A and B are shown apart, each in its own frame.
Chain A
């Protein structure tokens, strides 16, 4: 075992520590799927995507470059802010204002020889499925739940059970203060980020009437300035939470209100924290979580040791507030998950059918037992049985053919029915005749 030969990569001396582990079986390696002789060659060719070039993203890029990945892409739309410099170690004072993805990529490429890092200075939503299909692994270091849900849904929806490579594992890290989590999703096979949404408690909202009439906390004063005073006075055309003049205006308003109600504790930092929903972040925690994620990436890519994901544990919770505590467990997939529990089924249709014929055929399907199906495609309302105004507006569509309505092979439709208040169906259109 330990005496087994390592399979050296193209620069054996440089990567000897890594090769000893990734190309040799250990006591926990699953010999059925591990082939040490293939690892270096495979990892050299792998394309891996990093989402986010912030606190976690900088660490992830460094870690992947030193884990034997050679073709790394990074996507981030943000520019560098001064408050990033306490942890986003690929950036310097002089980089403030530049693209995070570009600066980070250039830095790591220069530091680690032989690694190619391609930056994408845009939103994740600007890239289509074809782009994401090009990667064998996605590692996420994001601070927004919305972006996580988007990429999760995209990777889950990409799955085509006939194509093995359409399953792209998603490794996700997140931190808050001294705490964080690292988790692995094998789309449709294990619990997805949407299944795990209840692990993040949303910030409790304060009733509007409390803000309006009986504020008690400094946060209430800031929220009042943000939600009510701003709308009433519109001091600037649109609120830019990164503009100190805007935050300053809110701070002044909040301070005056606090003064009126004799509430103490309104500060500039508090105002900024509440308005931007700032989450405390430090390098140390990012280091732990990003590396835990990349460790899974290495294990998944090489099979040199069991990884989080499948079949057992898929989630590591980490807390450093009170000593150090981790809880690593299996988060179960949810049957009723709106993302991975509701995959589109294929539906054979003739493009020459009218929409009315399609609706009738849905109602006639014995498996679904729909009575009053309403049908929409992505961004297009085809026919809604209710409410009345929408029914009237969409009724003419019933006479038009599917191809006439712009539907194409592979498009998805969503079908709902009041008879099934808790279920909705997704179908992927399969044309029986070519139009």
Chain B
């Protein structure tokens, strides 16, 4: 067993010295983990990040410009907010534009399994970013967040494609005006 209580007086002294020297700044496990995730991010040509405050690596913006698929030619952006309990909680990701997509609702909420029910601490930011990219390549009608868009995709792919183009140009689909995302 530890003899933990034996050196009380010495400790008081040491305490005082530490106080005089000011507080030591410690790196938290979450911050270090995000740092690691960021330093191994592979964004390619179609994505880039923007950090409003470089000292705060827990919040940033990701820009995606799909170069294939139905959403080609547009630029979408997502805010990333990483909770202090990362990686035990997933990052919070929200689309900044109002877009027409079966898996993204009009408030920008994203239905991606690894952002919620299937998140695991072993996953990293790269996995999330790959997941987002995939949503633009293969929008999924089976697990919709925007029911109308999903219905269009299921019943008539051509109509859906036209709607995507219209929405990306800032047009109206089904009574909703979308944000212009075409570059």
Which residues of A line the B interface, CB within 8 A? 30, 33, 42, 45-46, 128-130, 133-134, 136, 146, 149, 153, 157, 163-169, 186, 189, 194, 197, 202, 204-210, 212-213, 228, 231-232, 300-301, 303, 306-307, 309-310, 338-339, 342, 344, 372, 374, 376-381, 384-390, 393-394, 408-414, 416-418, 421, 424, 426, 428
How far is it, in angstroms, between the C-alpha of A189 and the C-alpha of B2 when the chains are bound? Answer: 10
Provide the B1-37 mask, 1 if CB < 8 A to any CB of A, else 0.
1111111101100110011011111111101110110
Contact status B111-A207, CB under 8 Å: yes
Q: Which residues of chain A are near B116, meaning CB under 8 Å? A: 205-208
Q: Contacts A194-B29, A207-B116, A208-B109 hold; do A165 and B41 have CB atoms under 8 A apart?
A: no
Chain B residues positioned under 8 Å from A386 (CB to CB): 38-41
Within 8 Å of chain A (Cβ to Cβ): is B67? no
Distance to closest chain B CB from A298 (angstroms): 13
- Known A129-B23, A169-B4; judge A424-B38 contact (CB<8 A): no
**Residue A389 contacts which of B2, B14, B51, B88 (CB distance < 8 angstroms)?**
B51
Given contacts A46-B5, A376-B35, contact A390 B49 (CB under 8 A): yes
A424, B32: Cβ atoms closer than 8 Å? yes
Q: Which residue of A has the minimal Cβ distance to B106?
A: A232
Neighbour of B32 across the interface among A30, A168, A414, A417, CB < 8 A: A414
A–B complex contacts, Cβ < 8 Å, 20 sampled: A130-B19, A133-B15, A136-B5, A163-B10, A163-B11, A165-B10, A212-B111, A212-B147, A228-B109, A338-B33, A379-B31, A381-B55, A384-B38, A384-B57, A390-B49, A390-B51, A394-B54, A408-B22, A414-B31, A414-B32
Known: A205-B119, A389-B51. 7 other contacts (CB 8 A): A30-B1, A164-B7, A169-B4, A207-B113, A207-B116, A231-B109, A394-B54
- Complex: how many Å from CA A128 to CA B18? 12
Q: From residue B129, how far is it (CB to closest CB) to chain A in Å?
A: 10
Check A165–B48 contact: CB distance below 8 A: no
| A to B contact number (C-beta, < 8 Å) | 195
Determine if A213 and B144 form an interchain contact, defined as CB atoms under 8 angstroms apart: yes
Which of A307, A390, A408, A426 has the most chain B CB atoms closer than 10 A to its own CB? A390
| A53 vs chain B, min Cβ distance (A) | 23
Q: Name B residues whose Cβ lies closer than 8 Å to a Cβ of A.
A: 1-8, 10-11, 14-15, 18-19, 21-29, 31-33, 35-36, 38-41, 43, 48-51, 54-55, 57, 84-85, 88, 103, 105, 107, 109-111, 113, 116-117, 119, 143-145, 147, 150
Contact B5–A410 (Cβ < 8 Å): no
**B41: nearest chain-A partner, CB-CB:** A387
CA distance A381 to B54 in the complex (A): 6
Q: Would you give the shortest CB distance from B104 to chain A, in whole angstroms?
A: 10
The 8 Å CB contact of A378, one of B21, B25, B150, is: B25
Chain B CB count within 10 A is highest, among A165, A166, A197, A424, for: A165
Chain B residues within 8 Å of A165, by CB: 4-5, 7-8, 10-11, 14
Instruction: Please give, as numbers and ranges, the residues of chain A lying within 8 Å of B14 by CB-CB distance.
Output: 163, 165
Give the complex CA separation of A420 and B5 in angstroms. 40
CA distance A134 to B19 in the complex (A): 12
Question: Are B31 and A387 in contact, with the CB atoms below 8 A?
Answer: no
* B24 pairs with A212, CB closer than 8 A: no
What is the CA–CA distance of A94 and B2 in the complex, to the nearest angstrom? 44
- Give the contacting residue for A387; candidates B8, B29, B32, B49; CB below 8 A: B49
Residue of B18, B26, B35, B40 near A157 (CB, 8 A) is: B26
Indicate which residue in A213, A379, A421 contacts B147 across the interface (CB closer than 8 Å).
A213
Most central of B41, B48, B116, B144 by chain A CB within 10 Å: B116
How far is it, in angstroms, between the C-alpha of A385 and the C-alpha of B41 when the chains are bound? 10
Contact of B35 among A133, A209, A408, A416 (CB under 8 A): A416
Contact A197 B26 (CB under 8 A): no
- Alpha-carbon distance between A147 and B5 when the two chains are bound, in angstroms: 26
Please determine whether B29 and A393 come into contact, CB atoms closer than 8 angstroms: no
Contacting pair B43 A424 (CB below 8 A):
no
Shortest Cβ gap from A114 to chain B (Å): 20
CB nearest neighbor in A for B48:
A389
Alpha-carbon distance between A192 and B101 when the two chains are bound, in angstroms: 45
Structural contact, A310 and B31, CB atoms closer than 8 A: no
> Would B143 and A207 count as touching, CB distance under 8 A?
yes
Cα distance, A167 to B1, chains bound together (Å): 12
B residues near A408, Cβ cutoff 8 Å: 22, 24-25
Contact B32 A45 (CB under 8 A): no
Check A389/B49 contact, CB under 8 A, given A33-B1, A394-B54. Answer: yes
Please, which residues of chain A bring their CB within 8 A of the CB of B22? 408
Q: How far is the CA of A378 from the CA of B22 in the complex (A)?
A: 15
Q: In the complex, what's the smallest C-beta–C-beta distance from A389 to chain B, in angstroms? A: 5
B3 / chain A contacts, CB cutoff of 8 Å: 33, 164
Contact of A206 among B6, B18, B40, B117 (CB under 8 A): B117
Interchain nearest-CB distance for B146 vs A (Å): 8
